[in-house]
Chains A and B, each alone.
Chain A
Protein backbone atom coordinates (compact mmCIF):
# COMPACT_ATOMS: atom_id res chain seq x y z
CA UNK A 1 0.00 0.00 0.00
CA UNK A 2 1.33 3.39 -0.90
CA UNK A 3 0.98 6.24 1.58
CA UNK A 4 1.30 9.88 0.64
CA UNK A 5 2.40 12.63 3.00
CA UNK A 6 -0.18 15.42 2.67
CA UNK A 7 1.27 17.73 5.27
CA UNK A 8 4.25 17.94 7.52
CA UNK A 9 5.08 20.66 9.95
CA UNK A 10 7.75 20.87 12.64
CA UNK A 11 8.65 23.51 15.21
CA UNK A 12 11.62 24.20 17.38
CA UNK A 13 10.87 24.57 21.13
CA UNK A 14 9.92 28.26 21.01
CA UNK A 15 7.76 27.82 17.90
CA UNK A 16 10.32 28.58 15.22
CA UNK A 17 9.12 26.66 12.17
CA UNK A 18 11.74 24.50 10.48
CA UNK A 19 9.57 22.31 8.27
CA UNK A 20 6.40 23.32 6.44
CA UNK A 21 4.77 21.17 3.79
CA UNK A 22 1.21 20.73 2.65
CA UNK A 23 -2.00 22.36 3.81
CA UNK A 24 -1.64 25.02 6.43
CA UNK A 25 -4.82 24.77 8.49
CA UNK A 26 -3.90 21.87 10.73
CA UNK A 27 -1.56 21.07 13.55
CA UNK A 28 0.06 24.40 14.23
CA UNK A 29 2.43 25.03 17.12
CA UNK A 30 0.67 23.87 20.34
CA UNK A 31 -2.59 24.13 18.41
CA UNK A 32 -2.50 27.87 17.96
CA UNK A 33 -3.03 29.54 14.61
CA UNK A 34 -0.19 31.48 13.09
CA UNK A 35 -0.42 34.93 11.57
CA UNK A 36 1.05 34.37 8.12
CA UNK A 37 2.23 37.97 7.81
CA UNK A 38 3.75 38.70 11.20
CA UNK A 39 4.66 35.08 11.94
CA UNK A 40 3.27 35.31 15.49
CA UNK A 41 1.06 32.65 17.10
CA UNK A 42 -2.35 33.79 18.33
CA UNK A 43 -3.36 32.24 21.62
CA UNK A 44 -6.72 33.14 23.17
CA UNK A 45 -5.04 35.72 25.41
CA UNK A 46 -1.89 37.06 23.71
CA UNK A 47 0.56 36.65 20.86
CA UNK A 48 3.79 34.66 20.89
CA UNK A 49 6.69 35.74 18.70
CA UNK A 50 8.61 32.53 17.87
CA UNK A 51 11.61 34.45 16.51
CA UNK A 52 12.16 36.19 19.85
CA UNK A 53 10.89 33.21 21.84
CA UNK A 54 8.77 35.52 24.01
CA UNK A 55 5.28 36.95 24.34
CA UNK A 56 4.53 40.33 22.80
CA UNK A 57 2.53 41.45 25.87
CA UNK A 58 2.68 40.65 29.60
CA UNK A 59 0.71 37.83 31.13
CA UNK A 60 -2.90 39.03 31.67
CA UNK A 61 -2.91 36.93 34.86
CA UNK A 62 0.27 38.71 36.05
CA UNK A 63 1.82 35.36 36.91
CA UNK A 64 5.52 34.98 37.54
CA UNK A 65 8.40 37.47 37.66
CA UNK A 66 9.04 37.70 33.93
CA UNK A 67 5.62 38.08 32.42
CA UNK A 68 6.97 38.05 28.86
CA UNK A 69 8.84 34.76 29.14
CA UNK A 70 7.34 31.77 27.35
CA UNK A 71 6.75 28.94 29.88
CA UNK A 72 9.53 30.31 32.11
CA UNK A 73 11.95 29.76 29.22
CA UNK A 74 11.48 26.00 29.50
CA UNK A 75 9.73 25.16 26.20
CA UNK A 76 11.19 21.66 25.99
CA UNK A 77 9.13 20.51 28.97
CA UNK A 78 6.17 22.93 28.99
CA UNK A 79 3.67 24.47 26.61
CA UNK A 80 1.24 27.37 27.01
CA UNK A 81 -1.60 27.14 24.49
CA UNK A 82 -3.77 29.68 26.33
CA UNK A 83 -1.18 32.41 26.91
CA UNK A 84 -2.12 32.62 30.60
CA UNK A 85 -0.18 31.99 33.80
CA UNK A 86 2.93 30.72 32.05
CA UNK A 87 1.06 27.61 30.87
CA UNK A 88 -0.08 26.56 34.33
CA UNK A 89 -2.83 23.92 33.89
CA UNK A 90 -4.62 25.01 37.08
CA UNK A 91 -4.82 28.59 35.89
CA UNK A 92 -5.92 27.51 32.45
CA UNK A 93 -8.74 25.50 33.98
CA UNK A 94 -10.01 28.47 36.02
CA UNK A 95 -9.82 31.60 33.91
CA UNK A 96 -12.58 33.19 36.01
CA UNK A 97 -10.11 33.38 38.90
CA UNK A 98 -7.50 35.36 37.05
CA UNK A 99 -6.62 38.51 38.87
CA UNK A 100 -7.78 37.12 42.19
CA UNK A 101 -6.71 34.09 44.10
CA UNK A 102 -4.69 32.47 41.37
CA UNK A 103 -2.17 35.24 41.66
CA UNK A 104 -1.73 34.24 45.26
CA UNK A 105 -0.24 30.97 44.21
CA UNK A 106 2.78 32.74 42.79
CA UNK A 107 5.45 34.65 44.66
CA UNK A 108 4.54 38.30 44.46
CA UNK A 109 6.37 41.52 45.30
CA UNK A 110 3.71 42.50 47.79
CA UNK A 111 4.11 39.46 49.97
CA UNK A 112 1.57 37.85 52.21
CA UNK A 113 -0.80 40.72 52.88
CA UNK A 114 -1.54 41.01 49.19
CA UNK A 115 -2.82 37.46 49.23
CA UNK A 116 -5.39 38.27 51.88
CA UNK A 117 -6.55 41.33 49.98
CA UNK A 118 -6.86 39.36 46.78
CA UNK A 119 -8.72 36.70 48.66
CA UNK A 120 -11.20 39.32 49.85
CA UNK A 121 -11.69 40.54 46.33
CA UNK A 122 -12.42 37.01 45.25
CA UNK A 123 -15.89 36.90 46.79
CA UNK A 124 -18.52 38.40 44.48
CA UNK A 125 -20.68 39.48 47.45
CA UNK A 126 -17.83 41.32 49.07
CA UNK A 127 -17.06 43.14 45.87
CA UNK A 128 -20.63 44.44 45.84
CA UNK A 129 -19.89 46.15 49.15
CA UNK A 130 -21.49 44.41 52.12
CA UNK A 131 -20.90 47.02 54.78
CA UNK A 132 -22.40 44.91 57.56
CA UNK A 133 -19.51 42.44 57.48
CA UNK A 134 -16.22 43.10 59.21
CA UNK A 135 -13.02 42.74 57.18
CA UNK A 136 -12.29 39.55 59.05
CA UNK A 137 -15.71 38.08 58.16
CA UNK A 138 -15.27 39.01 54.53
CA UNK A 139 -11.83 37.48 54.45
CA UNK A 140 -13.10 34.27 56.00
CA UNK A 141 -15.99 34.06 53.56
CA UNK A 142 -13.67 34.66 50.66
CA UNK A 143 -11.28 32.05 51.88
CA UNK A 144 -14.18 29.58 52.10
CA UNK A 145 -15.20 30.40 48.53
CA UNK A 146 -11.65 30.02 47.42
CA UNK A 147 -11.19 26.69 49.14
CA UNK A 148 -14.43 25.37 47.71
CA UNK A 149 -13.19 26.14 44.27
CA UNK A 150 -9.58 25.07 44.37
CA UNK A 151 -9.45 22.77 47.37
CA UNK A 152 -8.31 19.21 47.67
CA UNK A 153 -10.14 16.67 45.58
CA UNK A 154 -10.78 18.96 42.64
CA UNK A 155 -8.68 16.58 40.57
CA UNK A 156 -6.48 19.32 39.17
CA UNK A 157 -2.79 18.72 39.05
CA UNK A 158 -1.04 20.13 42.09
CA UNK A 159 -4.24 21.35 43.77
CA UNK A 160 -3.45 19.65 47.11
CA UNK A 161 -0.08 21.38 47.27
CA UNK A 162 -1.66 24.70 46.35
CA UNK A 163 -4.25 24.31 49.07
CA UNK A 164 -1.58 23.66 51.66
CA UNK A 165 0.42 26.64 50.50
CA UNK A 166 -2.63 28.86 50.61
CA UNK A 167 -3.59 27.81 54.13
CA UNK A 168 -0.07 28.40 55.36
CA UNK A 169 0.17 31.83 53.79
CA UNK A 170 -3.24 32.77 55.16
CA UNK A 171 -2.16 31.91 58.67
CA UNK A 172 0.95 34.05 58.26
CA UNK A 173 -1.16 36.87 56.92
CA UNK A 174 -3.43 36.86 59.97
CA UNK A 175 -0.34 37.00 62.18
CA UNK A 176 0.93 39.98 60.30
CA UNK A 177 -2.41 41.75 60.44
CA UNK A 178 -2.57 41.12 64.18
CA UNK A 179 0.83 42.77 64.56
CA UNK A 180 0.61 45.69 62.16
CA UNK A 181 -3.08 46.20 61.47
CA UNK A 182 -4.83 46.27 58.15
CA UNK A 183 -3.10 49.28 56.69
CA UNK A 184 0.37 47.80 56.61
CA UNK A 185 1.40 46.67 53.17
CA UNK A 186 -2.17 46.17 52.18
CA UNK A 187 -2.28 47.55 48.66
CA UNK A 188 -0.29 50.34 47.05
CA UNK A 189 -1.96 53.74 47.05
CA UNK A 190 -1.96 53.57 43.26
CA UNK A 191 -0.48 55.94 40.73
CA UNK A 192 -2.28 59.26 40.29
CA UNK A 193 -4.19 59.92 37.09
CA UNK A 194 -2.90 62.49 34.60
CA UNK A 195 -4.71 65.52 36.04
CA UNK A 196 -4.13 64.44 39.61
CA UNK A 197 -0.42 64.13 38.86
CA UNK A 198 -0.35 67.82 37.95
CA UNK A 199 -1.46 68.92 41.42
CA UNK A 200 1.72 70.24 43.09
CA UNK A 201 3.05 68.16 45.99
CA UNK A 202 -0.05 65.91 46.08
CA UNK A 203 0.37 64.34 42.63
CA UNK A 204 4.10 63.74 42.85
CA UNK A 205 3.86 62.73 46.51
CA UNK A 206 1.27 60.08 45.75
CA UNK A 207 3.31 58.82 42.79
CA UNK A 208 6.40 58.60 45.03
CA UNK A 209 4.54 56.62 47.71
CA UNK A 210 3.16 54.26 45.08
CA UNK A 211 6.63 53.80 43.60
CA UNK A 212 8.15 52.91 46.95
CA UNK A 213 5.27 50.57 47.79
CA UNK A 214 5.71 48.70 44.52
CA UNK A 215 9.48 48.54 44.82
CA UNK A 216 10.32 51.07 42.07
CA UNK A 217 12.97 52.88 44.03
CA UNK A 218 14.47 54.92 41.18
CA UNK A 219 11.18 56.41 40.12
CA UNK A 220 10.32 56.86 43.78
CA UNK A 221 13.38 59.09 44.19
CA UNK A 222 12.51 61.05 41.03
CA UNK A 223 8.98 61.67 42.27
CA UNK A 224 10.25 62.54 45.74
CA UNK A 225 12.53 65.13 44.11
CA UNK A 226 9.57 66.44 42.21
CA UNK A 227 7.47 66.69 45.36
CA UNK A 228 10.27 68.64 47.07
CA UNK A 229 10.68 70.97 44.10
CA UNK A 230 6.88 71.41 44.15
CA UNK A 231 7.14 72.67 47.73
CA UNK A 232 9.71 75.29 46.69
CA UNK A 233 7.65 76.17 43.65
CA UNK A 234 4.51 76.76 45.67
CA UNK A 235 6.49 78.73 48.23
CA UNK A 236 8.13 80.97 45.64
CA UNK A 237 4.87 81.50 43.77
CA UNK A 238 3.06 82.42 46.97
CA UNK A 239 5.92 84.77 47.90
CA UNK A 240 5.89 86.30 44.42
CA UNK A 241 2.15 86.88 44.49
CA UNK A 242 2.50 88.37 47.96
CA UNK A 243 5.23 90.73 46.80
CA UNK A 244 3.76 91.61 43.48
CA UNK A 245 0.16 91.84 44.51
CA UNK A 246 -2.68 90.86 42.26
CA UNK A 247 -2.50 94.01 40.15
CA UNK A 248 1.18 93.41 39.53
CA UNK A 249 0.69 90.05 37.88
CA UNK A 250 -0.56 91.71 34.75
CA UNK A 251 -0.25 95.37 34.02
CA UNK A 252 -3.10 95.57 31.60
CA UNK A 253 -4.54 99.01 32.20
CA UNK A 254 -3.20 101.99 30.25
CA UNK A 255 -0.30 101.99 27.84
CA UNK A 256 2.14 99.12 27.92
CA UNK A 257 4.86 100.91 26.02
CA UNK A 258 8.14 100.71 27.91
CA UNK A 259 8.27 104.43 28.73
CA UNK A 260 4.78 104.22 30.24
CA UNK A 261 5.63 101.01 32.06
CA UNK A 262 8.70 102.62 33.64
CA UNK A 263 6.48 105.39 34.93
CA UNK A 264 4.03 102.83 36.26
CA UNK A 265 6.84 100.94 38.00
CA UNK A 266 7.97 104.13 39.73
CA UNK A 267 4.44 105.16 40.72
CA UNK A 268 3.51 101.73 42.08
CA UNK A 269 6.65 101.55 44.19
CA UNK A 270 8.42 98.87 42.20
CA UNK A 271 11.61 100.85 41.92
CA UNK A 272 13.76 100.74 45.01
CA UNK A 273 16.02 103.65 44.09
CA UNK A 274 16.50 106.25 41.38
CA UNK A 275 18.04 104.83 38.25
CA UNK A 276 17.16 101.21 38.99
CA UNK A 277 17.56 98.96 36.00
CA UNK A 278 14.93 96.35 35.13
CA UNK A 279 16.23 93.47 33.08
CA UNK A 280 13.78 91.86 30.65
CA UNK A 281 14.92 88.38 31.61
CA UNK A 282 12.84 86.16 29.31
CA UNK A 283 11.61 88.28 26.40
CA UNK A 284 14.18 90.99 25.62
CA UNK A 285 13.33 94.55 24.76
CA UNK A 286 15.37 94.49 21.56
CA UNK A 287 16.49 91.75 19.14
CA UNK A 288 13.79 89.10 18.71
CA UNK A 289 11.75 90.65 21.52
CA UNK A 290 10.68 93.47 19.22
CA UNK A 291 8.16 91.15 17.57
CA UNK A 292 6.51 90.43 20.94
CA UNK A 293 3.73 92.88 21.87
CA UNK A 294 4.46 95.26 24.75
CA UNK A 295 1.44 93.98 26.67
CA UNK A 296 3.24 90.64 27.01
CA UNK A 297 6.87 91.58 27.51
CA UNK A 298 6.50 94.76 29.60
CA UNK A 299 4.91 92.95 32.51
CA UNK A 300 6.30 92.57 36.02
CA UNK A 301 6.81 88.80 35.54
CA UNK A 302 9.30 89.53 32.75
CA UNK A 303 11.21 92.17 34.70
CA UNK A 304 14.09 91.41 37.02
CA UNK A 305 15.31 94.15 39.35
CA UNK A 306 19.04 94.75 39.13
CA UNK A 307 20.99 95.52 42.32
CA UNK A 308 22.26 98.92 43.24
CA UNK A 309 25.70 100.31 42.44
CA UNK A 310 28.58 99.34 40.22
CA UNK A 311 28.12 95.63 40.97
CA UNK A 312 24.50 95.73 39.83
CA UNK A 313 25.46 97.57 36.66
CA UNK A 314 28.23 95.06 35.90
CA UNK A 315 25.80 92.18 36.38
CA UNK A 316 23.27 93.79 34.06
CA UNK A 317 25.98 94.38 31.46
CA UNK A 318 27.00 90.72 31.49
CA UNK A 319 23.38 89.54 31.33
CA UNK A 320 23.10 91.50 28.11
CA UNK A 321 26.13 89.63 26.77
CA UNK A 322 28.41 92.57 27.42
CA UNK A 323 31.83 92.88 28.98
CA UNK A 324 33.02 94.78 32.00
CA UNK A 325 36.17 96.86 32.31
CA UNK A 326 38.23 93.71 32.90
CA UNK A 327 36.68 91.73 30.05
CA UNK A 328 34.55 89.70 32.46
CA UNK A 329 31.65 88.08 30.66
CA UNK A 330 29.14 85.27 31.10
CA UNK A 331 28.39 82.24 28.99
CA UNK A 332 24.83 81.17 28.21
CA UNK A 333 24.51 78.91 31.25
CA UNK A 334 25.65 81.71 33.57
CA UNK A 335 23.29 84.19 31.93
CA UNK A 336 20.42 81.75 32.36
CA UNK A 337 21.28 81.13 35.98
CA UNK A 338 21.99 84.70 37.08
CA UNK A 339 19.47 86.25 34.73
CA UNK A 340 16.33 84.44 35.79
CA UNK A 341 14.26 84.81 38.96
CA UNK A 342 14.22 82.03 41.54
CA UNK A 343 10.63 81.03 40.80
CA UNK A 344 11.50 80.54 37.12
CA UNK A 345 14.42 78.28 38.00
CA UNK A 346 12.26 76.17 40.32
CA UNK A 347 9.46 76.05 37.73
CA UNK A 348 11.87 74.92 35.01
CA UNK A 349 13.30 72.18 37.22
CA UNK A 350 9.80 71.10 38.13
CA UNK A 351 8.69 70.90 34.50
CA UNK A 352 11.83 68.96 33.60
CA UNK A 353 11.24 66.38 36.33
CA UNK A 354 7.54 66.20 35.52
CA UNK A 355 8.42 65.54 31.88
CA UNK A 356 10.76 62.74 32.95
CA UNK A 357 8.00 61.08 34.97
CA UNK A 358 5.83 60.86 31.86
CA UNK A 359 8.18 58.07 30.77
CA UNK A 360 7.52 56.16 33.97
CA UNK A 361 5.94 52.81 33.17
CA UNK A 362 2.59 52.08 34.81
CA UNK A 363 2.73 49.97 37.91
Chain B
Protein backbone atom coordinates (compact mmCIF):
# COMPACT_ATOMS: atom_id res chain seq x y z
CA UNK B 1 0.00 0.00 0.00
CA UNK B 2 1.41 3.33 -1.03
CA UNK B 3 0.65 6.69 0.49
CA UNK B 4 -0.39 9.69 -1.53
CA UNK B 5 2.18 12.42 -1.59
CA UNK B 6 1.35 16.03 -2.22
CA UNK B 7 4.91 16.64 -3.40
CA UNK B 8 7.42 14.88 -5.51
CA UNK B 9 9.52 13.91 -2.50
CA UNK B 10 9.27 10.40 -1.07
CA UNK B 11 10.04 9.53 2.53
CA UNK B 12 13.47 8.09 3.08
CA UNK B 13 13.16 5.51 5.85
CA UNK B 14 13.92 5.22 8.71
CA UNK B 15 12.05 8.24 9.93
CA UNK B 16 10.83 9.75 13.17
CA UNK B 17 7.23 10.72 13.77
CA UNK B 18 6.01 13.33 16.24
CA UNK B 19 2.34 13.30 17.14
CA UNK B 20 0.83 15.07 20.16
CA UNK B 21 4.08 14.83 22.06
CA UNK B 22 4.60 11.16 21.22
CA UNK B 23 7.79 10.27 19.40
CA UNK B 24 7.91 7.05 17.42
CA UNK B 25 10.54 5.64 15.15
CA UNK B 26 9.18 4.44 11.81
CA UNK B 27 11.21 1.79 10.05
CA UNK B 28 9.23 1.33 6.85
CA UNK B 29 6.17 2.39 4.89
CA UNK B 30 4.34 -0.67 6.23
CA UNK B 31 4.15 0.98 9.63
CA UNK B 32 2.43 3.94 7.99
CA UNK B 33 -0.48 1.92 6.64
CA UNK B 34 -2.01 0.68 9.88
CA UNK B 35 -4.32 2.63 12.13
CA UNK B 36 -7.43 2.10 14.20
CA UNK B 37 -11.07 3.06 13.82
CA UNK B 38 -10.83 5.39 16.81
CA UNK B 39 -7.75 7.08 15.35
CA UNK B 40 -9.38 7.55 11.98
CA UNK B 41 -12.68 8.82 13.38
CA UNK B 42 -11.02 11.33 15.69
CA UNK B 43 -8.45 12.20 13.01
CA UNK B 44 -5.64 11.51 15.45
CA UNK B 45 -3.23 11.19 12.53
CA UNK B 46 -3.67 14.85 11.59
CA UNK B 47 -0.72 17.00 12.37
CA UNK B 48 1.78 14.15 12.60
CA UNK B 49 5.19 15.47 11.69
CA UNK B 50 7.58 13.09 9.99
CA UNK B 51 11.30 13.67 9.79
CA UNK B 52 13.08 11.25 7.52
CA UNK B 53 16.70 10.23 7.48
CA UNK B 54 17.26 12.45 4.46
CA UNK B 55 16.49 15.55 6.51
CA UNK B 56 13.06 16.12 4.95
CA UNK B 57 10.03 17.17 6.89
CA UNK B 58 6.51 15.93 6.11
CA UNK B 59 3.07 16.40 7.58
CA UNK B 60 0.19 13.93 7.54
CA UNK B 61 -2.85 15.78 6.24
CA UNK B 62 -5.36 13.05 5.54
CA UNK B 63 -6.17 9.35 5.79
CA UNK B 64 -8.63 6.98 4.19
CA UNK B 65 -9.72 3.54 5.23
CA UNK B 66 -8.77 0.78 2.84
CA UNK B 67 -10.07 -2.24 4.77
CA UNK B 68 -10.52 -3.70 8.24
CA UNK B 69 -7.68 -5.91 9.40
CA UNK B 70 -8.33 -9.13 11.27
CA UNK B 71 -5.00 -10.73 12.01
CA UNK B 72 -4.94 -12.83 15.13
CA UNK B 73 -6.82 -13.00 18.39
CA UNK B 74 -5.63 -9.57 19.50
CA UNK B 75 -7.38 -7.87 16.62
CA UNK B 76 -10.62 -9.59 17.66
CA UNK B 77 -10.52 -7.66 20.94
CA UNK B 78 -10.49 -4.42 18.94
CA UNK B 79 -13.20 -5.70 16.64
CA UNK B 80 -15.46 -6.68 19.54
CA UNK B 81 -14.91 -3.45 21.45
CA UNK B 82 -15.47 -1.12 18.52
CA UNK B 83 -11.89 -0.18 17.70
CA UNK B 84 -10.70 -2.55 14.99
CA UNK B 85 -7.36 -2.20 13.24
CA UNK B 86 -7.62 -0.66 9.80
CA UNK B 87 -5.43 -0.60 6.78
CA UNK B 88 -5.27 3.01 5.70
CA UNK B 89 -3.87 5.21 3.01
CA UNK B 90 -2.27 8.40 4.25
CA UNK B 91 -2.01 11.70 2.45
CA UNK B 92 1.33 13.20 3.25
CA UNK B 93 2.50 16.65 2.44
CA UNK B 94 6.14 17.70 2.24
CA UNK B 95 6.91 20.79 4.28
CA UNK B 96 10.54 21.32 3.40
CA UNK B 97 13.76 20.43 5.08
CA UNK B 98 14.61 20.18 8.74
CA UNK B 99 17.78 21.08 10.61
CA UNK B 100 19.54 18.91 13.18
CA UNK B 101 18.69 21.37 15.96
CA UNK B 102 15.01 21.31 15.03
CA UNK B 103 14.99 17.52 15.22
CA UNK B 104 16.75 17.60 18.57
CA UNK B 105 14.21 20.12 19.84
CA UNK B 106 11.33 17.94 18.71
CA UNK B 107 12.86 14.92 20.45
CA UNK B 108 13.64 16.87 23.58
CA UNK B 109 10.08 18.17 23.62
CA UNK B 110 8.79 14.60 23.66
CA UNK B 111 11.20 13.67 26.48
CA UNK B 112 9.69 16.48 28.54
CA UNK B 113 6.03 15.96 27.64
CA UNK B 114 6.06 12.20 28.01
CA UNK B 115 8.50 11.86 30.86
CA UNK B 116 6.71 8.91 32.52
CA UNK B 117 6.83 6.99 29.27
CA UNK B 118 10.51 7.65 28.53
CA UNK B 119 11.50 6.95 32.11
CA UNK B 120 10.44 3.36 31.56
CA UNK B 121 13.34 2.91 29.13
CA UNK B 122 16.13 1.20 31.04
CA UNK B 123 18.99 3.30 29.65
CA UNK B 124 17.04 6.46 29.05
CA UNK B 125 19.70 8.86 30.35
CA UNK B 126 22.31 7.35 28.03
CA UNK B 127 19.90 7.61 25.14
CA UNK B 128 19.03 11.23 25.94
CA UNK B 129 22.69 12.18 26.25
CA UNK B 130 23.54 10.44 22.99
CA UNK B 131 20.83 12.38 21.18
CA UNK B 132 21.97 15.62 22.76
CA UNK B 133 25.54 14.94 21.68
CA UNK B 134 24.66 13.95 18.12
CA UNK B 135 26.32 16.15 15.53
CA UNK B 136 24.38 14.91 12.54
CA UNK B 137 21.05 13.43 11.63
CA UNK B 138 22.78 10.13 10.92
CA UNK B 139 24.01 10.03 14.50
CA UNK B 140 20.46 10.67 15.75
CA UNK B 141 19.14 7.71 13.79
CA UNK B 142 22.14 5.65 14.83
CA UNK B 143 21.20 6.30 18.47
CA UNK B 144 17.68 5.03 17.81
CA UNK B 145 19.18 1.90 16.29
CA UNK B 146 21.70 1.42 19.08
CA UNK B 147 18.98 1.62 21.69
CA UNK B 148 16.77 -0.75 19.72
CA UNK B 149 14.00 1.68 18.94
CA UNK B 150 14.52 0.91 15.28
Contacts and interface: CB of A to CB of B under 8 A. Distances in A.
A301 B127 CA distance: 26
B8 interface: no
A90 interface: no
Interface stretch (B23-31, B100-108, B132-140): B23-31
Contacts of B14: 310
B71 interface: no
Contacts of A311: 31
Contact of A310 (B24, B36, B43, B123): B24
B81 A331 contact: yes
A275 B44 contact: no
B48 A329 contact: no
A266 B124 CA distance: 12
A310 B122 contact: no
Nearest to B43: A327
A279 B74 CA distance: 19
A174 interface: no
A334 interface: yes
Contact of B36 (A258, A285, A320, A328): A328
A280 B39 contact: no
A278 interface: yes
A334 to B, nearest CB: 6
A324 B24 contact: yes
A308 interface: yes
B122 A262 contact: yes
Nearest to B86: A328
A219 B122 CA distance: 47
Interface in A290-332: 308-314, 316-317, 320, 322-331
Nearest to B3: A326
Interface residues of B, number: 55
Contacts of A337: 74, 77
Nearest to A311: B31
Interface string B107-150: 00000001111011111101100000000000000000011111
A359 interface: no
Contacts of A338: 74, 77
A310 B22 contact: no
B116 A325 contact: no
A251 to B, nearest CB: 14
Interface string B16-60: 010111101111000111111011101111101010000000001
B96 interface: no
Interface string A77-91: 000000000000000
B24 A317 contact: yes
Contact of B116 (A262, A266, A286): A286
Interface in A246-272: 258, 262, 265-266, 271
Interface string B47-88: 010100000000010010000000000100110111101001
B19 A309 contact: no
A325 B122 contact: no
B116 A284 contact: yes
A41 to B, nearest CB: 54
A330 B83 contact: yes
A277 interface: yes
A310 B31 contact: yes
A280 B36 contact: no
Which of B82, B120, B146 gathers the greatest number of chain A CB atoms within 10 Å? B120
Contacts of B88: 326
Nearest to B44: A327
Contact of B77 (A265, A314, A333): A333
Contact of B120 (A278, A309, A327): A278
B7 to A, nearest CB: 18
A180 interface: no
Contacts of B120: 277-280, 285, 316
A313 B90 CA distance: 21
17 contacts: A271-B122, A274-B147, A275-B147, A276-B148, A277-B121, A310-B25, A310-B26, A310-B150, A316-B120, A326-B60, A327-B43, A327-B46, A328-B34, A328-B36, A330-B78, A331-B38, A333-B77
Nearest 7 Cβ contacts at the A-B interface: A275-B147, A325-B17, A327-B45, A327-B44, A327-B39, A286-B116, A333-B81
Interface of B: 14, 17, 19-22, 24-27, 31-36, 38-40, 42-46, 48, 50, 60, 63, 74, 77-78, 80-83, 85, 88, 90, 114-117, 119-124, 126-127, 146-150
Given A286-B116, A326-B45, 5 more contacts: A275-B127, A275-B146, A309-B149, A322-B20, A334-B77
